[in-house]
Amino acid sequence: MLYVVAMPIGDIADLSPRALAILAQVDLIACEDTRRIAPLLAAHAIRTPTLSYFEHNEERRAPELVERMRRGARIALVTDAGTPAISDPGFRLVRETLDAGIRVGAIPGPSAVVAALSVAGLPTDRFTFEGFLSSKPASRRNELKALARERRTMVFFEAARRLGPTLTEMAAIFGAEREAAVAREIGKTYEEVMRANLGELAARFTTNPARGEITLVVAGIGRDQGAREQAVEGDLAAAPVLTVEMLCAAGLSLKQASVVMARLGGRSRREIYQDALASRRTRQDDNKDD
């Protein structure tokens, strides 16, 4: 038997009584980091042996664990936080266990995806979980372009250090006015949920980088947003001035916005800055003529 056991994402009190009972009864606990689960087990006087099971050893560990279950072992699969196999190790073991004809049972509990959705203030009747975007800028932009017309609410995980650039790219591709929420440190002492549009959030986290665990919730495209979104869903490098102006409207200075756009678009900050100034002068002249 394999039990997939959800773990707290913040407060240790969120661990369910059933999860505690399973952890105490099984023969082995497969976990990402034996050091991280040790204090929790000690706090509840659980002495079940643990074994590391993480991204870089799961190909080797999964067959070993399946063989133990073939011989009658009951194993609990846990992750450092949240539900195993959801953007965490576990899929391979679950699949191989099922293929071996061994039963897999879920011990449900905390999930950062559902927790963030529940407090974001965005539609929850339909949503899509996108996990982590690519860390490579070009691949990330392509992934976002593919989601630009998505109507469902979207949930992402993101590393704190990449949050500013990711929000900036979302503002450029989805539109700066698209509603979103950044949920930080859910279930922990310094839990914080910031709701604003993508432009405002991009400006905030570009000038003040985030810290901690991040879950990002973004509204799907609305019917009234269609025309506006289509105008900005093209390549970032093809519309740098528009992107700079959106960032300025969200609170960045022209210089700061030009620096951000230069990093994303592959052009020099000075070139983008001068183009933006020229565009502003043209608009001012047009207004005078009117």
In the chain, the DSSP E strands lie at 2-5, 28-31, 50-52, 75-77, 104-107, 127-132, 153-158, 179-184, 192-197, 214-218
Provide CB contacts within 8 A for 89, sequence distance 6+.
32, 53, 54, 55, 58, 79
| pTM, entire model | 0.75
Mean pLDDT in residue range 14-33: 96
CATH of domain 113-236: 3.30.950.10
Alpha carbon distance 137, 133 (integer Å): 10
pLDDT at 253 (0 to 100):
85
* CB of 162 closer than 8 Å to CB of 135: yes
* Digit-coded pLDDT (tens) for 114-150: 999 999 999 999 999 999 999 888 899 999 999 999 9
pLDDT at 278 (0 to 100):
79
Given the DSSP bridges, would you call strands 28-31 and 75-77 parallel, antiparallel or unpaired? parallel
CATH topology for 2-110 is Cobalt-precorrin-4 Transmethylase; domain 1 (3.40.1010)
Read out DSSP for 128-170? EEEEEPPSSHHHHHHHHHHHTT--SEEEEEE-GGGHHHHHHHH
CA-based nearest residue to 97, from 157, 144, 53, 145: 53
Read out DSSP for 70-84? HTT--EEE--SSB-T
pLDDT at 268 (0 to 100):
80
Alpha carbon distance 122, 88 (integer Å): 25
* Digit-coded pLDDT (tens) for 153-183: 999 999 999 999 999 999 989 999 999 999 9
Alpha carbon distance 77, 68 (integer Å): 13
pLDDT greater than 60 at residue 231: no
Domain ranges for the chain, please list them.
2-110, 113-236
Alpha carbon distance 1, 195 (integer Å): 43
Provide CB contacts within 8 A for 49, sequence distance 6+.
27, 28, 29
* Higher per-residue confidence, 228 vs 213: 213
* Digit-coded pLDDT (tens) for 257-267: 888 777 766 57
The amino acid that residue 170 corresponds to is M
pLDDT at 242 (0 to 100):
73
* Digit-coded pLDDT (tens) for 38-71: 999 999 999 999 999 998 999 999 999 999 999 9
Does residue 65 sit in helix, strand or coil? helix
